[in-house]
Structure 1
Amino acid sequence: MSRYTRSLFIFRRDLRIHDNSGLNQALSTSGSVLPCFIFDPRQIDRHPYQSQPALAFMLESIAELQQAFLSAGSRLALYHTLPVDVVKAAVQQHQIEAVFVNRDYTPFSQKRDAELAQVCHDFNIDFHGVPDYLLTEPEQALKGDHSPYKVFTAFYNNARQLPVALPNALTQANFINSGHVSTVDLDEFVATVAPYTKVKAHSIPGGRNQALAILGQLHEQADYQSVRDYPCLDATSHLSAHLKFGSCSVREAYFAIVQALGAEHPLLRQLYWRDFFTHIAFHYPHVFGKSFNSQYDNVVWDNNLEIFQRWAEGTTGFPIVDAGMRELNASGFMHNRVRMIVASFLVKDLHISWRWGERYFAQHLVDYDPAVNNGNWQWAASTGCDAQPYFRIFNPWLQQQKFDADCLYIKHWLPELAGIPAKTLHQWASRHSGNAYPAPMVEHGLESNLAKQRYKSCSFFTPTE
């Protein structure tokens, strides 16, 4: 006999039916389950950190999820309101006895789930937040004194010893058919409420079919470690957006990598970086807005808006930086090596706060994940945990010469440089005259020395465990 007669499952960052921990738990403990997705106005309406490419990816994934429900003889209920209002209506209209979600970890997510738990308590029904998004929960991978790790390698060595659950396919489909429920029409919603989410020409498409196609091609990542840093090769997996929105589970990704490439393949390490930054955001929520290491809140920033706009538009006169920013603006994606280069350049060459860069990436990345984006920016800015030491500053000229020697990536995204020899582009600081493409806007050596002086003037420490 089922524990609950009817339950509500709320999809969020888990846009799939198979290997969905919270959904499986709801189905196994309930006579029937009403599945829904809620367009929370606090997230779907315009706000400073909203990414249109990510929103477009999410809408594509929801459309495919809806088709999966239709194929199963059901329908995904869609709402555009606050989650607590959906719960109240579901209790009154469907007499639900429990609400299931997959657990999330940011301050906003925890506040939202606390509100859900409270309204469930008010109606005397159960609330379940089920672990699903990560390989390891924040309470699992801890040091001997039960405190969180602040250095990735130590975290990784601990976390990889913990078992990873095998993926579970959907075994029962006791869904309530929501065809008679008053819900948002997805096509109408996209057309009227979110018309600004047009997919850009180079965007990564959303949906589970795309995720499974990537997982099926992971054998092509055999040389990942040796080619991952070369942006012209486009040799990364492109799984990040699918993991962000859950069109495949992290467990499916983990075991697909193990099966295709082996249990020691470095691509697995990237999954644990995702866990690590999420754990940091959970245990130290002040990182959203402040430096992980508080002494670096004293770093002096110029925060010049005109200079920032040149960085954002890709007109700095540093070809590798500009190529990266134009890739981001055109596609919603940027190669990871180039992300590090442009972040270092903004913070340590242009002396603009990492918070400005964090927000710009949030607005443009198709794979925007608050914890991961924050962790990466604080790493580049030397303000975070296990961060790049402040005195190690990326030289954009050397990075360009090493990782795009023939300037293939640069010329792809900066077509105005197509006819200029790579050697000239590597010496652009002294050979830029007579071309419409701008001269370098700063001198790297001078600005990197200034950055070191500013960081050195702040008290600092380096964590050792």
Structure 2
Amino acid sequence: MAPQYRRAVFIFRRDLRLVDNTGLNLARTSAASVLPLFVFDPRQINHAYFSKPGFSFLKQSVKELDTALKLQNGALLLCSGTPDKVLKTIYHKSAFDLVVFNTDYTPFSKSRDEAITTTCKELGVECIAVHDALLHPPGTVLSTTGKPYTIFTPFWKKAATFPVNKPSALAPGSWALLKEVEQLKLPFREQQEEKQKQQAQQGGREEGVRILTQAKRCKDYKTMRDIPSVNGTSQLSAHLKFGTISVRETYHTLRSTLGDTHPLLRQLYWRDFFTHIAYFFPHVFGHSFHKVYDAIVWSNDERANAAFARWCNGTTGFPIVDAGLRELNATGLMHNRVRMITASFLVKDLHIDWRKGEQYFAQHLLDYDPCVNNGNWQWCASTGCDAQPYFRIFNPWLQQQRFDPDCQYIKKWVPELAQLTPKAIHQLFLQQPLDLGSYPKPIVEHKEAASHAKALFAAIAQKQ
């Protein structure tokens, strides 16, 4: 059967792979040839939430994708600009009759894709968007009343009853010839970024597959995932964010390797859940999920700004908090347990707006995912759906004693404390007259700060 279309353009975004790529397979089975396209959009690069480490990971992944295409006598067309305008330029140089891309779910993504759809209509070109990034797309996991879930557990129980599609190979088909791609000569400005001092992970599918095939090392995930000094987590978040591996590959590999009840699978559903929340309740970008908490008056004076700077730099005098921020600043990653501790500390101990922390994480995380980052911050801040109750506040001293008892993680990232015993480190809050050199004393007294946070939230909660 002859292909329905002559030439398709497939737009790569956060799906930087050839294998198990839903939209790409559709394009290859629908058109006689496919032109692979990646657009560096300046609106995403020149943005207040721009992640330098994430961009470095992205570039590595794009480069590897281009290499993979060239091994199949194809090539990735790299362009700078907005996708809708880029498509117009391509069309007038080399006409096509189909555009395909995988759907994304943030407000920016929806607006961008609406512009692409409008452009395609103007050009008389078919435009098809398909779901690919999640186990189950928004709208497929609903309550008995047809509404989206806002509590994770019932969402997970419902979603877990649905089958997850098996990964698919690259569909047969043809690429646009390399010489055709080169002849287009579209504007492309090489994007430069600051190199991370010690980037924790490399981008590209080869590295993503390598990590995924080592899934057996996560067999003790339930007991080891909260220990920041050991490599007890999946290390897959950045590869899932940029799609060097698919969520379906990940799900079925973990399930077959670790068992269908392994707790690591549950984390994939948390990823789906936060994305569904962002899709159905887009106000979460910039506002509390529970809007009543937008009325909280956060600390925002000169003293608070100085405290925020100390939090960012890892100089709060709380060792586990400082270790986490220093790990983030140096590598682009932070252990998940420590992410919760540092986020809680910013909001509940320093009384600083969670949105400032959300943005700082966005700018520095290698695996920054807008929906997941927002969901996690609002959980820690007690402003989100199914969030930590405001009166439950992490005690950083108890957290570090429980999850880093020997201070291996702390001593790695806070070398000023390397000569102290774990007991001395866990008791720094007693303000003992120790010679700590350049390491600062605790910026606040936790018990007092926590009491103030409870009062802030209680005053608002009473108005509900």
Give the alignment's TM-score, normalised by structure 2: 0.96
Q: Is the 8 A contact 2:101 2:130 kept in 1?
A: yes
Match of 2:334 in 1: 334
Counterpart CA distance in 1 for 2:124 and 2:358 is 41
Q: Report the AA paired with residue 181 of structure 1.
A: L
**Alignment of structure 1 residues 36-75 onto 2, 5 Å:** 36-44=37-45, 46-75=46-75
Post-superposition shift, 1:82?
1.0
Counterpart CA distance in 2 for 1:429 and 1:459 is 31
Match of 1:439 in 2: 441
Q: Report the AA paired with residue 97 of structure 2.
A: E
Pick the aligned partner of 1:280 from 274, 277, 291: 277
Post-superposition shift, 1:202?
3.5
Counterpart CA distance in 2 for 1:394 and 1:367 is 24
Q: Report the AA paired with residue 299 of structure 2.
A: D
Match of 1:167 in 2: 167
Match of 1:325 in 2: 325
Counterpart CA distance in 1 for 2:70 and 2:192 is 25
Match of 2:31 in 1: 30
Is residue 196 from structure 1 mapped to residue 193 from structure 2 by the alignment? Answer: yes
The alignment partner of 1:457 has SS state of: helix
Is residue 404 from structure 1 mapped to residue 404 from structure 2 by the alignment? Answer: yes
Match of 2:240 in 1: 243
Match of 2:105 in 1: 105
Pick the aligned partner of 2:450 from 425, 448, 451: 448
Q: Is the 8 A contact 1:107 1:285 kept in 2?
A: yes
Match of 1:127 in 2: 127
Q: Is the 8 A contact 2:29 2:171 kept in 1?
A: no
Q: Is the 8 A contact 2:417 2:436 kept in 1?
A: no
Q: Is the 8 A contact 1:72 1:173 kept in 2?
A: no
The alignment partner of 2:238 has SS state of: helix
State the Cα deviation string for residues 337-383 of structure 1 (Å, max 9, x = none): 00000000000000000000000000000000000000000000000
Post-superposition shift, 1:197?
3.6
Q: Report the AA paired with residue 259 of structure 1.
A: S
Is residue 208 from structure 1 mapped to residue 205 from structure 2 by the alignment? Answer: yes
The alignment partner of 2:461 has SS state of: coil
Post-superposition shift, 1:98?
1.2
Match of 1:259 in 2: 256
Post-superposition shift, 1:183?
4.0
Identity across the alignment (%): 51
The alignment partner of 2:34 has SS state of: strand
Counterpart CA distance in 2 for 1:440 and 1:159 is 44
The alignment partner of 1:88 has SS state of: helix
Q: Report the AA paired with residue 225 of structure 2.
A: R
Give the alignment's TM-score, normalised by structure 1: 0.96
Q: Report the AA paired with residue 38 of structure 2.
A: F
Counterpart CA distance in 2 for 1:131 and 1:60 is 24
Post-superposition shift, 1:434?
2.2
Post-superposition shift, 1:93?
2.0
Counterpart CA distance in 2 for 1:357 and 1:173 is 46
Q: Report the AA paired with residue 292 of structure 2.
A: Q
Counterpart CA distance in 1 for 2:447 and 2:101 is 51
Q: Report the AA paired with residue 17 of structure 1.
A: L
**Alignment of structure 1 residues 354-373 onto 2, 5 Å:** 354-373=354-373
Q: Is the 8 A contact 1:105 1:281 kept in 2?
A: yes
Pick the aligned partner of 1:182 from 181, 185, 200: 185
Match of 2:389 in 1: 389
The alignment partner of 1:6 has SS state of: strand
Counterpart CA distance in 1 for 2:217 and 2:278 is 33
Counterpart CA distance in 1 for 2:89 and 2:441 is 60
State the Cα deviation string for residues 55-96 of structure 1 (Å, max 9, x = none): 000000001001001101111000001101121122222221
Match of 1:117 in 2: 117
Q: Report the AA paired with residue 254 of structure 1.
A: Y
Q: Report the AA paired with residue 19 of structure 2.
A: H
The alignment partner of 1:58 has SS state of: helix
Q: Is the 8 A contact 1:229 1:403 kept in 2?
A: yes
Match of 1:219 in 2: 216
Post-superposition shift, 1:460?
6.2
Match of 2:459 in 1: 457
Q: Is the 8 A contact 2:55 2:193 kept in 1?
A: no
Q: Report the AA paired with residue 182 of structure 1.
A: K
State the Cα deviation string for residues 394-427 of structure 1 (Å, max 9, x = none): 0000000000000000000011111110000000
Post-superposition shift, 1:297?
0.7
The alignment partner of 2:212 has SS state of: helix
Counterpart CA distance in 2 for 1:366 and 1:14 is 16
Q: Is the 8 A contact 1:53 1:203 kept in 2?
A: no
Match of 2:16 in 1: 15
Counterpart CA distance in 1 for 2:357 and 2:156 is 27
Is residue 149 from structure 1 mapped to residue 149 from structure 2 by the alignment? Answer: yes
State the Cα deviation string for residues 89-119 of structure 1 (Å, max 9, x = none): 2222222111100000000000000000111
Q: Report the AA paired with residue 149 of structure 2.
A: Y
Q: Report the AA paired with residue 131 of structure 1.
A: H
Aligned length: 455
Q: Is the 8 A contact 2:28 2:34 kept in 1?
A: yes
Q: Is the 8 A contact 2:32 2:173 kept in 1?
A: no
